[in-house]
């Protein structure tokens, strides 16, 4: 019984994750306690066995080549003619240097908006567009608990033309978020919610108008969350749904 | 050389050494060769696309594993698997002290690897992935926490529970193994 508190630390001890002072104390105890030393041995043997058994699958050479080819830089052009274009290149470089920050911000922002549009289209094309099917916000909202690292409010839709179809988890820039699908006059609208801090570096809403997309879209930040509302319905509908969300989130 | 090609070069240099281990991890998650290949291919495509947002000097390995895992979780197989997994009591401190019978451990060396493979295959995906990251990939708790996007406390409790579950599932097999070993020994004696 005396050893219970030591045994609780044995896993962390064999993983070498205890602070140095504690490591030393457990080490001293293990050397002097038969029960804990056999417990440690058991864990080390199990660890080693899993390590060996876990290295089980090897990719084929063809598959490796295929992936390598897909990520390899494209071959460089013959540099012999480069001098002929030196003046033009220098001019382009000057222009590029002057506009690089602006362009980069637009590109990053544009990439995020494009990915949102891709997610919207891909989901609607899917045979299972939603993982939780319900028109009840009190069913859909709790479904996200434990699946995404934040909470958000869904608007009350009574007296509006919108109806909730359901929701699903989604990822943008490796960040988990919520994807909700609404219906208005047979048009589908996607609402995406992510943590603002995960996307802030990639998105400058002043840098690019979402109107450049083939969809109507609105985005805003509220309460540490970034919202995107996108769909092929009118800009007024998108704006109306966005306002309902803004009210619910305030 | 263009900036884009420089970026592609450094991505390839960083990413290809992880290829074998990412494939191994993907195969353990999907339990299927074709799906593992699709998962790895998609992971590399996504990582290449998002490489501009990766900060050089931070943990590239954890970043790649996180992409692979997120891609898996949103795949058809991943969604099916996670929907059947019960919600963890994440901070279950009571599991931390795991008692393991010592005579069994001596049989681990003789344990048929196939039995261990099947016991690991049967683990819930959360247990399987954390055991692989810790024992096979030898990631630190911090690295695992980054990969799974969970706090270190959750890493510790999940890891402890995974080890306990695996031990419990192996126990009957090891007992049968002990009988076999003893019987073999007796026959040799005869």
User: Which has more pLDDT, A208 or B146?
Assistant: B146
Q: State the average pLDDT over residues A218-225.
A: 88
Contacts of the segment A102-111: beta carbons below 8 A, 24+ positions apart = A102/A207, A105/A204, A105/A207, A106/A207, A106/A208, A108/A201, A108/A202, A108/A203, A108/A204, A108/B52, A108/B53, A109/A202, A109/A203, A109/A204, A109/A205, A109/A207, A109/A208, A110/A208, A110/A212, A111/A202
Domain with CATH 3.40.1000 in chain A: 113-249
What is the residue whose two structure tokens read 């996670």? B82
Q: Which 3 state secondary structure label does DSSP give B18?
A: helix
The chain-wide mean pLDDT, for chain A, equals: 82
CB contact under 8 Å between B8 and A49, yes or no, is no
What is the spatial distance between Cα A51 and Cα A57, in angstroms, rounded to a whole number? 13
State phi, psi for A235 to the nearest 5 degrees: -60, -30
Give per-residue pLDDT as tens, B127-173. 999 999 999 999 999 999 999 999 999 999 999 999 999 988 887 76
- Beta-carbon contacts of A15 under 8 Å, excluding residues fewer than 6 positions away, are B134, B141, B159
- Beta-carbon contacts of A241 under 8 Å, excluding residues fewer than 6 positions away, are A155, A162, A182, A184, A189, A191, A229
The pLDDT value recorded for residue B16 is 93
Q: Is the pLDDT of residue B185 over 50?
A: no
List of chain B residues whose C-beta atoms are within 8 Å of the C-beta of residue A132: none
The pLDDT value recorded for residue B93 is 44
A-B CB pairs within 8 A amount to 144
What is the spatial distance between Cα B172 and Cα B190, in angstroms, rounded to a whole number? 27
* Domain A113-249 grouped into CATH 3.40.1000: yes
CA-based nearest distance A50→chain B, Å: 6
Q: Is the pLDDT of residue A135 over 70?
A: yes
User: Which has more pLDDT, B92 or A213?
Assistant: A213
Range among A112-116, B97-101, B177-181 rated most confident: A112-116
Instruction: Please report how the helices A34-54 and B113-121 are oriented relative to each other, as an axis angle in degrees rounded to 10.
Output: 80
CB A12 within 8 A of CB A20: no
Which is nearest to B25 in space by CA: B100, B129, B168? B129
List of chain B residues whose C-beta atoms are within 8 Å of the C-beta of residue A47: 135
The pLDDT value recorded for residue B179 is 45
Range among A57-71, A127-141, A201-215 rated most confident: A57-71
CA-based nearest distance A203→chain B, Å: 11
The pLDDT value recorded for residue A227 is 92
Partners of A184 in beta bridges = A187
Tallying the residues shown for chain A, one arrives at: 250
CB A139 within 8 A of CB A132: yes
Q: Is the pLDDT of residue A103 over 60?
A: no
Nearest to B12 among A41, A71, A171 (CB): A71
Q: State the average pLDDT over residues A193-209.
A: 69
Q: Is the pLDDT of residue A174 over 70?
A: yes
Nearest to A72 among B12, B45, B73 (CB): B12
Nearest to A4 among B46, B97, B138 (CB): B97
What is the spatial distance between Cα A27 and Cα B14, in angstroms, rounded to a whole number? 37
Partners of A187 in beta bridges = A184
The pLDDT value recorded for residue B67 is 94
Which is nearest to B124 in space by CA: B58, B80, B65, B185? B80
Q: State the average pLDDT over residues A214-222.
A: 86
Q: How much of chain A exceeds pLDDT 90, in percent?
A: 24
Instruction: Please report how the helices B152-189 and A34-54 are oriented relative to each other, as an axis angle in degrees rounded to 10.
Output: 90
CB atoms within 10 A of CB B161: 21
* Domain B1-84 grouped into CATH 1.10.1740.10: yes
Selected for mutation to probe chain A from B13, B63, B136, B177 (highest A CB count within 10 Å) is B136
What is the residue whose two structure tokens read 């080390």? A44
What is the spatial distance between Cα B166 and Cα B94, in angstroms, rounded to a whole number? 17
The pLDDT value recorded for residue B158 is 93
The pLDDT value recorded for residue A250 is 78
Using pLDDT thresholds of 50, 70 and 90, give the confidence band for residue A62: very high
Using pLDDT thresholds of 50, 70 and 90, give the confidence band for residue A80: low
Give per-residue pLDDT as tens, A45-60. 888 888 888 888 999 9
Helices marked H in A16-144:
20-32, 34-54, 61-71, 86-125, 137-143
CA-based nearest distance B14→chain A, Å: 11
CB atoms within 10 A of CB B57: 6
From chain B residues 115-174, the ones with a CB under 8 A of any chain A CB are 116-117, 120, 131-132, 134-136, 138, 140-141, 149, 156, 159-160, 163, 166-167
Range among A3-7, A93-97, B20-24 rated most confident: B20-24
What is the spatial distance between Cα A182 and Cα A180, in angstroms, rounded to a whole number? 7
Q: State the average pLDDT over residues A167-185.
A: 89
The pLDDT value recorded for residue B95 is 44
Q: Is the pLDDT of residue B24 over 50?
A: yes
Lowest mean pLDDT, pick from A59-63, A208-212, A245-249, B65-69: A208-212
The chain-wide mean pLDDT, for chain B, equals: 78
The pLDDT value recorded for residue A15 is 92
Nearest to B44 among A4, A67, A173 (CB): A67
CB contact under 8 Å between A67 and B74, yes or no, is no
Selected for mutation to probe chain A from B115, B116, B131, B133 (highest A CB count within 10 Å) is B116
CB contact under 8 Å between A73 and B5, yes or no, is yes
Helices marked H in B50-140:
60-73, 76-83, 102-108, 113-121, 125-131
The pLDDT value recorded for residue A2 is 64
Using pLDDT thresholds of 50, 70 and 90, give the confidence band for residue A202: low
Burial of A133 (C-beta count, 10 Å sphere; 0-12/13-18/19+): middle
CB atoms within 10 A of CB A114: 12
What is the spatial distance between Cα A220 and Cα A207, in angstroms, rounded to a whole number? 13
Query: Domain segments of chain B: what residues?
Result: 1-84, 89-190
Q: Is the pLDDT of residue A225 over 60?
A: yes
For residue B172, what are its two tokens? 């009957």
For residue A182, what are its two tokens? 């609404």
Range among A37-41, A135-139, B68-72 rated most confident: B68-72
Q: Is the pLDDT of residue A231 over 50?
A: yes
CATH number of B89-190: 1.10.10.10
Using pLDDT thresholds of 50, 70 and 90, give the confidence band for residue B41: very high
Q: Is the pLDDT of residue B3 over 60?
A: no
List of chain A residues whose C-beta atoms are within 8 Å of the C-beta of residue B37: 59, 63
| 0.90 surpassed by pTM | no
Give per-residue pLDDT as tens, B52-69. 888 877 899 999 999 999
């Amino acid at each position: 019984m005396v050893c219970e508190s030591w045994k609780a630390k044995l896993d962390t001890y064999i993983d070498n994750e205890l602070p140095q002072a504690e490591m030393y104390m457990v080490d001293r105890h293990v050397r002097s306690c038969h029960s804990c030393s056999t417990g440690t041995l058991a864990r080390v043997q199990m660890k080693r066995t899993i390590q060996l058994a876990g290295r089980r699958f090897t990719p084929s050479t063809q598959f490796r080549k295929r992936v390598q080819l897909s990520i390899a830089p494209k071959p460089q052009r013959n540099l012999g003619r480069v001098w002929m274009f030196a003046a033009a290149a220098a001019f382009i470089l000057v222009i590029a240097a002057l506009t690089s920050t602006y362009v980069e911000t637009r590109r990053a922002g544009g990439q995020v908006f494009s990915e949102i549009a891709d997610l919207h289209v891909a989901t609607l094309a899917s045979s299972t567009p939603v993982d939780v099917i319900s028109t009840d916000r009190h069913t859909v909202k709790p479904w996200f608990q434990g699946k995404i690292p934040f909470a958000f409010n869904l608007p009350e839709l009574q007296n509006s033309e919108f109806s909730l179809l359901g929701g699903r988890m989604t990822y943008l820039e490796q960040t988990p978020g919520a994807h909700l699908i609404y219906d208005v006059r047979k048009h589908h609208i996607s609402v995406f919610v992510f943590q603002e801090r995960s996307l802030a570096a990639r998105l400058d809403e002043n840098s690019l108008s979402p109107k450049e997309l083939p969809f109507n879209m609105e985005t805003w930040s509220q309460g540490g969350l970034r919202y995107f509302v996108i769909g092929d319905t009118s800009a007024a509908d998108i704006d109306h749904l966005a306002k309902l969300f803004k009210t619910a989130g305030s | 050389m263009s900036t884009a090609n420089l970026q592609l070069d450094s991505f390839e240099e960083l990413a290809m050494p992880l290829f074998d281990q990412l494939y191994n991890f993907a195969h353990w998650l999907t339990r299927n060769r074709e799906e593992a290949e699709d998962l790895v291919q998609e992971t590399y495509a996504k990582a290449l696309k998002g490489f501009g947002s990766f900060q050089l000097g931070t943990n590239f390995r954890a970043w790649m594993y996180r992409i692979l895992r997120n891609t898996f979780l949103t795949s058809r197989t991943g969604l099916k698997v996670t929907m059947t997994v019960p919600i963890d009591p994440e901070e279950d401190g009571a599991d931390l002290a795991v008692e393991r019978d010592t005579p069994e451990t001596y049989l681990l060396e003789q344990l048929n690897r196939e039995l261990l493979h099947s016991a690991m295959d049967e683990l819930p995906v959360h247990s399987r992935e954390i055991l692989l990251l810790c024992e096979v990939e030898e990631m630190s708790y911090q690295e695992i926490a980054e990969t799974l996007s969970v706090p270190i406390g959750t890493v510790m409790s999940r890891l402890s529970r995974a080890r306990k579950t695996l031990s419990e599932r192996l126990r009957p097999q090891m007992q049968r193994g002990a009988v076999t070993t003893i019987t073999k020994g007796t026959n040799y004696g005869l």
